[in-house]
């Protein structure tokens, strides 16, 4: 980040005070980019990060995302809005939720949405900094969206402040309905610098939210902050997905700056707010860039998810072009043999054309048939590559990435081998192994001309991918 340009004034400037020419210049610059994805959701300008408000409402799928449109930096956050009829092709709705209240004046931060009596209710964190010391003070806020996608914020906070014993890092409400109550799961940091997930509940979604209980996950290894908590129900089980920043790596191994984790349990005891027979905490994704996953128990019975293809506290090569971040394809989640599986929703099949792709295509779907005890799959351009390999002798996967002008990054992990589905969308990749038991997601910044594919010890079928 250019700290000389991105001073406190520009990072916190209200949207109404920006010169419209800034966006026009960014659009012109981004139009020349050779790194933009084709079928993944990305920002029009500036920054995209956490998915928010994933929901089904008014016969359409709705998905919001954190945004700062004026530059590829974490400035004043708003919610940008996308809708879809099929979970694959998304349309931008130019009716963002922007900071315009005292209680969200330093940003509309992450949250969720729920269908209530024919209207969509949004619950989100309003971020503020108060006093000479700029102390963080969070508000949990609410808004309604009507069938024309017009958003009206409530004139009062749902939760005025963090509870006793918790710092200003108190955010990211996921709201669900269970029995007579609405429940909100919130990420929190204690004054002792420990992460935890707190629950609030009410019978009237606009009023009366009260602290209920801490969610007992069966582990206290939640680092110094448990971000983006999400609870989903599928296959007679419950899964909790969250981001335990600073979790102890001796107990839970991860290589990214912050992990995205999950725990599977037999059930959730709402009276005690305790997971029943929870699993150990596991990595949600083994790739380089995947964070802030949001889930939706959809009306059709599926458990769906979407994640940010990016990480906090990380800079990307596309920043220099004035944009950063994508959202993953929508995934369907299941519990199989106690593990979480993630697969692209069946609607994604329409992306794939059956005619064979050429080596110059930058949107590909690669299927790898069952392979021998060793194999390599290589995607290469002149000064960059992405290499996936497997060694049967120790059942170890290795993923290596060299972006243009950067050093090599490596991820290794244990797992069985099977067929592979590999989606490449210019600079975005999603890899699904063993039916989605293992996933690897990230960005791959190549030279922008062509990406060549070659492999060893396995047969590979390449398909074209139709752009959105």
Q: What is the pLDDT of residues 244-284, one digit of tens each?
A: 999 999 999 999 999 999 999 999 999 999 999 999 999 99
Q: Which pLDDT does position 373 carry in this prediction? A: 65
Mean pLDDT of 121-138: 91
Q: Which of 9, 17, 50, 407 is catalytic?
A: 50
Of 112-121, 195-204, 456-465, the range with the lowest mean pLDDT is 456-465
**Residue 333 near residue 342 (C-beta atoms within 8 A):** yes
Both ends of the chain: CA-CA distance in Å?
31
Residue 395 is predicted with a pLDDT of 87
* pTM exceeds 0.85, yes or no: yes
Question: What is the homologous superfamily of the domain 8-344 according to CATH?
Answer: Glycosyl hydrolase domain; family 43 (2.115.10.20)
Q: Where in the chain is the domain with CATH 2.60.120.560?
A: 354-465
Give span(s): CATH 2.115.10.20, the chain: 8-344
pLDDT in tens, 39-50: 999 999 999 999
Is 468 a residue whose pLDDT tops 60?
no
CATH code of the domain made up of 354-465: 2.60.120.560
Specify whether 407 is catalytic: no
Cα separation, 199 vs 202, in Å, equals: 11
pLDDT digits over 391-450, tens only?
A: 888 889 999 999 999 999 999 998 887 778 999 999 999 999 989 999 999 999 998 888
Q: Rounded to an integer, what distance in angstroms lies between the CA atom of residue 24 and that of residue 20?
A: 7
Better-predicted residue by pLDDT, 450 or 302: 302
What the block records as the tokens of 435 is 């039916």
Q: Give the pLDDT mean for 66-88.
A: 97
Mean pLDDT of 51-70: 98
Confidence grade of residue 455 (pLDDT, cut at 50, 70, 90): confident
User: 3-state class of 318 per DSSP?
Assistant: helix
By C-alpha distance, which of 295, 275, 273 is closest to 284? 295
Q: How many CB atoms lie within 10 A of CB 373?
A: 10
pLDDT tens readout for residues 358-379:
666 788 888 876 666 677 889 9
Radius of gyration of the chain (CA): 22
């Amino acid at each position: 980040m250019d700290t000389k340009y991105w001073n406190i004034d520009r990072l916190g400037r209200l949207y109404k005070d920006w010169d419209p020419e800034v966006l026009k210049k960014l659009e012109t610059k981004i139009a020349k980019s050779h790194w933009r994805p084709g079928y993944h959701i990305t920002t029009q300008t500036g920054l995209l990060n956490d998915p928010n408000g994933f929901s089904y409402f008014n016969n359409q799928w709705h998905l919001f995302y954190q945004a700062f449109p004026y530059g590829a930096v974490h400035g004043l956050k708003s919610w940008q809005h996308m809708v879809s009829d099929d979970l694959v092709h998304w349309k931008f709705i130019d009716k963002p939720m922007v900071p315009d209240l005292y209680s969200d004046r330093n940003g509309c931060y992450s949250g969720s949405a729920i269908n209530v009596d024919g209207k969509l209710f949004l619950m989100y964190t309003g971020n503020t900094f108060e006093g000479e010391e700029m102390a963080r003070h969070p508000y949990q806020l609410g808004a309604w969206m009507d069938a024309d996608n017009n958003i009206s914020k409530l004139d009062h906070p749902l939760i005025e402040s963090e509870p006793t014993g918790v710092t200003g890092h108190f955010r990211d409400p996921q709201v669900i309905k269970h029995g007579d109550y609405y429940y909100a799961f919130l990420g929190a940091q204690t004054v002792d610098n420990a992460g935890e997930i707190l629950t609030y509940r009410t019978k009237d979604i606009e009023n009366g939210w009260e602290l209920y209980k801490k969610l007992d996950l069966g582990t206290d290894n939640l680092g110094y902050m448990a971000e983006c908590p999400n609870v989903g129900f599928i296959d007679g089980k419950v899964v909790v997905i969250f981001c335990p920043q600073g979790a102890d790596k001796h107990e839970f191994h991860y290589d990214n700056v912050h992990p995205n984790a999950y725990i599977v349990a037999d059930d959730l005891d709402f009276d005690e707010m305790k997971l029943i027979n929870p699993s150990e905490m596991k990595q949600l994704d083994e790739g380089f860039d995947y964070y802030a996953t949001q889930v939706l128990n959809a009306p059709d019975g599926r458990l769906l998810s979407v994640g940010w293809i990016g990480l906090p506290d990380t800079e990307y090569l596309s920043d220099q072009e004035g944009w950063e971040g994508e959202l993953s394809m929508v995934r369907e989640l299941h519990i199989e043999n106690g593990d979480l599986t993630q697969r692209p929703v069946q609607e994604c099949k329409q992306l794939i054309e059956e005619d064979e792709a050429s080596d110059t295509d930058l949107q590909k779907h690669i299927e790898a048939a069952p392979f021998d005890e060793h194999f390599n799959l290589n995607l290469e351009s002149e000064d960059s590559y992405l290499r996936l390999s497997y060694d049967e002798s120790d059942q170890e996967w290795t993923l290596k990435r060299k972006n243009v002008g950067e050093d090599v990054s490596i991820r290794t992990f244990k797992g069985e081998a099977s067929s592979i589905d590999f989606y490449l969308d210019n600079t975005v990749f999603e890899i699904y192994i063993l039916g989605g038991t293992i996933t690897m997601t990230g960005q791959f910044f190549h030279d922008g001309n062509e990406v060549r594919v070659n492999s060893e010890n396995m047969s590979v079928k390449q398909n074209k991918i139709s752009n959105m």
